[in-house]
């Protein structure tokens, strides 16, 4: 990863180490089998993550972070195993286990892990990369014991529950994930191909994390079990718990549930293995893309090498944002629609990557792109490193670090990662020092050592049938992978099983105590003389201020002929002002570490502002300049407009985009809502900068605007910082729009062609309820929850877990004050498109006809009503909560009303809503896939099939 985005505490922390203790607090009694390692305490004025570290006798490392700011806990179990630990010919096992670990264990039934966490009001997931796998849950604090029971059961009691049948289902799920995220996505195989050319055959990074499907097809469940036995012992794991916990109670619970799990085989740290190239390797690939792409990858060092930090700064200078050299030479000049540099680092090796997509109007080829990129490197060498380069980079790191501490999950993840890869949860102090100490000479040295004159993998991705567009004819061809013909499969008798013996009945699910009270954030209100309504709350956990300004000038305020206008204006507000160029404005914000983004939705142009509170005044001055003094220059407009058109063309290679676009058009009838917020090729082509100026003058005004604020400052201290917004004057026109239901033919499949698609994108639904907070829309949301609103909903369990048709399927009600819809959606294997539609319709019809079960009703009530602890934790969550109150003019007690609705809604009312809103015969279907293959299959289902163009 590029640590510029997540590390550094600059002057706030420089030179100050946290207070450490070599003995535990005298009040902490250690359970037998638990050994204290160290304590790092917080100190006033210093930003550290306090923790206690322990080890269990079986080798499990335990880190506890006590934080009582919110009544929730985050639990992370990180295993030091990723795809780099796999054998040649058995790729994808680490990622496969990410799936298998959710499929039940000896005392946890199939799908019960998801059910219990969701029912507890929590969230959960797992992730795998080349170097580690982690599983994590955020839950209300009273659910900690249940989470530890679940995590320990799959660590110590998994294998008896891993069957060949489960293996087969999850193998199909992994194939669907690969199809959705890689094979069916433009440029999806880019990094897989680059890695295979960059690293020698058999190198741990030479295969993709998700694995080669032929490897997964070759092996069986015993191979998977052997992998688990080798790597998933407690001595190769770190358990990190953060949040509203009591240290002594947590220690007792951890020892109870994890202490009896046997130690696994010893695990040595992997050897660092940066790549090395003796010559440039040109490779290429044809893909279903609109724009060609060039990607240049230089091998460098490995994570936390002394040269990682200066290489990160180099990538920032060359290709991060509008002040970078690649932006100046390629994007601003309109030679490319995108250009960037990055320095992603992994445990064993890092790469320095440069990427560009040429703009078709420039007439430049990928060979031209390579020439300009290499000329930019030469320019950098002549230019050198400027003072501002280091200041900007370090300011961005400071802000990124501080904002990363706003959630307990962010703090726990930092502790877990540092422990896993360094053995020191407090390694952040060393990270800060090495970035803070980067000098100009360091950056120039690493450029000359790793980039200048060095060899790289140069990858060209070109549209299908246009192989002549590559930057250079291939000079490297990946040979057949060695060793896969002699892969030895594991027999059941070869498994060296370990069994944990608990001294209590592990089949009993721990019961949770009462929910700890969750306070709705205390709010203050104001209305400026110019009509801006303000709603704010104080949050003192980090020295930051976040604001969201919503101006009523969104997509719906434009005509169908000018679709995309609001989006283009939002983009132009991030360009030059009357006082500064876009690059100068970006530089000014980067020097502060502040982040300002402007974007449009259906109703509003939104301005998101995040800053360290010490820079609030300076940031707000820059925001005022962006908003009230935009230059709206013709050349910047033309670049933005042209890039938007290319983005639309590129998106049309994406099945999900095509499905959502067609579905939107069919749900609306010849009005602005039928058109995408970003516009169409035609509307953008006919738009001028004068149109944008006129829209700005007429609509970008403060009356009825909304400002939501979450800050460490209270109202009295904050309001003086908002005077620049108070001086703004004017009132735009009222929104005058109707969105009638179109006369589309229900029961029809609208088929959008995407040739040779590995997966089909499906949307099923109809126009439905408009949004409300405590009325029928909200009750319909509750009704749909067991059908398609959770991981263990009927739809997802059927299509993903039972049939293996998809990586995920869902259904939902969506809407605003003007319109709404009910939608069921999934990306499915192309060969089961027709079968998937059958299953979708049968699930919806069965639920409408037969209703909710008593178990589902109880599950829904528990899941919805125990989420409160997660709703208000971070400033971002608080912004969203307050924004809803302001937009819909709600009394804060709407939360209590919703809670009462969830408690009191009956099965009869839910079933009545299901019959009313879930008649499949009222719905249309959109399918995106290979039309020639799919049309006869879909017609065989008995539906009318209409070819549809987007």
Report d(CA 485, CA 508) in Å as an integer.
46
DSSP code at position 503 = S
Mean pLDDT of the region 350-354: 98
Mean pLDDT of the region 552-563: 96
Mean pLDDT of the region 227-247: 96
Examine the pLDDT at 108 and tell me if it is beyond 80.
yes
Report d(CA 785, CA 757) in Å as an integer.
31
Mean pLDDT of the region 69-84: 94
Lowest mean pLDDT among 593-602, 672-681, 861-870: 861-870
| Comparison of pLDDT for 121 and 780, the residue scoring more | 780
CA-wise closest residue to 663 among 927, 941, 933: 927
Residue pLDDT, tens place only, 854-893: 999 999 998 888 776 677 777 888 888 899 899 999 987 8
Beta bridge partners of 66: 243
Examine the pLDDT at 16 and tell me if it is beyond 60.
no
Q: What is the pLDDT of residue 171?
A: 87
Q: Which fold has domain 523-726?
A: Cytochrome Bc1 Complex; Chain A, domain 1 (3.30.830)
The percentage of the chain sitting over the pLDDT mark of 70, rounded to a whole number, equals 96
Q: Which residues of 10-26 are buried (b: 16+ CB within 10 A; e: fewer)?
A: bebbeeeebeeeeebee
Examine the pLDDT at 324 and tell me if it is beyond 90.
yes
CA within 13 Å, CB half, 686: 9
Residue pLDDT, tens place only, 612-663: 999 999 999 999 999 999 999 999 999 999 999 999 999 999 999 999 999 9
Residue 813, helix vs strand vs coil: strand
689 confidence band (pLDDT: 50, 70, 90)? very high
The ranges of the chain annotated as CATH 3.30.830.10 are 38-270+490-494, 281-408+421-469, 523-726, 748-947
What are the tokens at 229?
A: 């036995």
Report d(CA 143, CA 122) in Å as an integer.
9
Q: Where are the alpha helices (DSSP H) in 437-492?
A: 440-446
Q: What is the pLDDT of residue 415?
A: 95
Q: Strand 237-243: give its sheet, edge to edge.
A: 19-21, 34-41, 51-56, 61-66, 237-243, 72-79, 133-140, 123-128
Task: Please say whether the dihedral angle defined by the alpha carbons of residues 566, 568, 569 and 571, taken in this order, is positive or negative.
Answer: positive
Q: Taking a C-beta distance cutoff of 8 angstroms, is the pair 490, 162 a contact? A: no
Q: Strand 706-711: give its sheet, edge to edge.
A: 523-527, 533-538, 706-711, 544-551, 605-612, 595-600
Examine the pLDDT at 150 and tell me if it is beyond 70.
yes
Report d(CA 153, CA 223) in Å as an integer.
21
Neighbours of 207 (CB within 10 A): 26
Residue pLDDT, tens place only, 300-320: 999 999 999 999 999 999 998
8 confidence band (pLDDT: 50, 70, 90)? very low
Report d(CA 902, CA 467) in Å as an integer.
58
Pick 748-947's CATH classification: 3.40.50.970, 3.30.750.24, 3.30.420.40, 3.30.830.10: 3.30.830.10
Q: Is CATH 3.40.190.80 what the domain over 281-408+421-469 is classified as, yes or no?
A: no
- For the chain, give me the number of helices (H) and strands (E)? 34, 25
Q: Is CATH 3.50.50.60 what the domain over 38-270+490-494 is classified as, yes or no?
A: no
Examine the pLDDT at 6 and tell me if it is beyond 60.
no
107 confidence band (pLDDT: 50, 70, 90)? very high
Burial of 926 (0-12, 13-18, 19+ CB in 10 A): buried
427 confidence band (pLDDT: 50, 70, 90)? confident
What are the tokens at 444?
A: 């120039």
Which H/E stretch holds residue 551?
Answer: strand 544-551
The beta strands (E) that lie in 343-493 are given as 351-358, 457-463
Q: What is the pLDDT of residue 5?
A: 41
Q: What angle do CA 611, 616, 620 make, to 5 degrees?
A: 100
Mean pLDDT of the region 376-402: 87
- pTM over the 0.85 mark: yes
Phi and psi (nearest 5°) for 917? -110, -10
Examine the pLDDT at 394 and tell me if it is beyond 90.
no
Phi and psi (nearest 5°) for 891? -80, 135
| Torsion angle of the four alpha carbons 893, 899, 900, 902, in this order, in degrees rounded to the nearest 10 | 150
Strand pairing category for 237-243 and 72-79:
antiparallel
């Amino acid at each position: 990863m590029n640590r510029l985005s997540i590390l550094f505490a600059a002057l706030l922390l420089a030179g100050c180490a946290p207070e450490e203790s070599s003995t535990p607090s005298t009040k902490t009694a250690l359970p037998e089998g638990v050994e204290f390692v160290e304590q790092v305490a917080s100190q006033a004025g210093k930003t550290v993550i306090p923790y206690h570290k322990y080890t269990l006798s079986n080798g499990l490392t335990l880190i506890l972070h006590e934080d009582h700011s919110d009544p929730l806990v985050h639990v992370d179990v990180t295993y030091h195993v990723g795809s780099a630990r796999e054998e040649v010919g058995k790729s994808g096992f680490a990622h496969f286990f990410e799936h298998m670990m959710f499929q039940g264990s000896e005392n946890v039934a199939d799908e019960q892990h998801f059910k219990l966490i969701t029912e507890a009001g929590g969230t959960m997931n797992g992730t795998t990369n080349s170097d580690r796998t982690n599983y994590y849950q955020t839950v209300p604090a009273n659910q900690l014991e249940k989470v530890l029971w679940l995590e320990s059961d799959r660590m110590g009691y998994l294998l008896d529950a891993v069957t060949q049948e489960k293996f087969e289902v999850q193998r199909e799920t992994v194939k669907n994930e690969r199809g959705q995220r890689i094979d069916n996505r433009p440029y999806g195989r880019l990094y897989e191909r680059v890695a295979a050319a960059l690293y020698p055959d058999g190198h741990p990074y030479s295969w993709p994390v998700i694995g080669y499907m032929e490897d997964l097809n070759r092996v069986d469940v015993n191979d998977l079990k052997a992998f688990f036995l080798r790597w998933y012992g407690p001595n190769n794991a770190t358990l990190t718990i953060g949040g509203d916990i009591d240290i002594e109670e947590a220690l007792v619970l951890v020892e109870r549930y994890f202490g009896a799990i046997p130690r696994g085989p010893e695990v040595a740290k992997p050897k660092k293995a940066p790549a090395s190239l003796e010559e440039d390797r040109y490779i290429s690939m044809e893909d279903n893309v609109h724009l060609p792409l060039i990607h240049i990858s230089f091998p460098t060092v490995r994570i936390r090498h002394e040269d990682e930090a200066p290489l990160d700064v180099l990538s920032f200078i060359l290709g991060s944002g509008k002040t970078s050299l690649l932006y100046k030479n390629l994007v601003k000049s309109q030679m490319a629609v995108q250009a960037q540099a990055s320095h992603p680092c992994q445990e064993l090796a890092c790469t320095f990557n440069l990427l560009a997509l040429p703009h078709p109007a420039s007439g430049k080829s990928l060979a031209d792109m390579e020439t300009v990129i290499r000329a930019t490197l030469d320019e950098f060498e002549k230019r050198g490193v400027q003072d501002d380069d280091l200041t900007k980079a370090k300011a961005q790191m400071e802000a990124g670090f501080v904002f990363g501490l706003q959630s307990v999950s962010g703090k726990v993840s930092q502790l877990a990662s540092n422990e896993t890869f360094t053995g020191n949860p407090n390694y952040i102090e060393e990270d800060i020092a090495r970035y803070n100490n980067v000098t100009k000479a360091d950056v120039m040295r690493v450029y000359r050592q790793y980039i200048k004159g060095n060899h790289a993998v140069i990858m060209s991705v070109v549209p299908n049938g246009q192989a002549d567009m590559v930057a250079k004819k291939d000079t490297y061809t990946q040979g057949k992978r060695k060793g896969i013909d002699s892969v030895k499969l594991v027999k059941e008798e070869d498994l060296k099983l370990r069994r944990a013996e608990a001294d209590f009945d592990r089949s009993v699910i721990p019961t949770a105590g009462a929910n700890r009270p969750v306070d709705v954030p205390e709010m203050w209100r104001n209305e400026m003389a110019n009509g801006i309504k303000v709603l704010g709350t104080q949050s003192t956990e980090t020295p930051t201020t976040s604001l969201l300004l919503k101006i009523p000038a969104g997509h719906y305020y434009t005509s169908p002929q000018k679709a995309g206008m609001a989006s283009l204006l939002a983009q132009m507000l991030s360009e030059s002002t009357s006082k500064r160029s876009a690059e100068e404005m970006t530089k000014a914000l980067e020097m502060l570490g502040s982040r300002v983004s402007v974007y449009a939705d259906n109703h509003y142009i939104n301005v998101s502002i995040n800053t360290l509170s010490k820079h609030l005044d300076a940031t707000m001055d820059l925001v005022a300049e962006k908003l009230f003094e935009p230059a709206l220059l013709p050349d910047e407009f033309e670049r933005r407009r042209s890039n938007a058109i290319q983005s639309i063309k590129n998106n049309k290679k994406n099945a999900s985009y095509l499905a959502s676009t067609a579905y939107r058009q069919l749900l609306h009838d010849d009005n602005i809502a039928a058109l995408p917020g970003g516009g169409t090729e035609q509307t953008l082509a006919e738009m001028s900068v004068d149109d944008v100026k006129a829209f700005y003058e007429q609509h970008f005004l403060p009356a009825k605007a909304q400002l939501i604020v979450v800050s460490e400052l209270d109202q009295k201290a904050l309001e003086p910082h908002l005077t620049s917004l108070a001086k703004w004057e004017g009132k735009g026109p009222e929104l005058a729009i109707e969105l009638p239901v179109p006369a589309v033919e229900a029961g029809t499949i609208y088929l959008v062609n995407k040739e040779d698609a590995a997966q089909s994108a499906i949307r099923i639904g109809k126009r439905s309820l408009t949004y409300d907070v405590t009325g029928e829309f909200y009750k319909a949301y509750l009704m749909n929850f067991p059908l398609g609103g959770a991981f263990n909903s009927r739809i997802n369990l059927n299509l993903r877990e039972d049939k293996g048709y998809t990586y995920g399927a869902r259904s939902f009600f969506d809407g605003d004050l003007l319109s709404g819809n009910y939608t069921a959606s999934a990306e499915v294997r192309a060969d089961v498109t027709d079968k998937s539609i059958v299953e979708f319709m049968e699930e919806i019809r069965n639920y409408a006809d037969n209703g909710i079960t008593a178990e589902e009703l109880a599950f829904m009530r528990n899941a919805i009503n125990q989420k409160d602890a997660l709703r208000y934790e971070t400033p971002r969550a608080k912004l969203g909560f307050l924004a809803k109150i302001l937009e819909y003019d709600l009394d804060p007690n709407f939360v209590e009303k919703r809670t009462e609705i969830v408690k009191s809604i009956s099965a009869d009312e839910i079933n009545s809503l299901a019959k009313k809103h879930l008649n499949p015969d009222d719905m249309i279907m959109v399918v995106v896939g290979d039309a020639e293959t799919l049309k006869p299959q879909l017609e065989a289902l008995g539906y009318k099939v209409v070819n549809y163009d987007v």
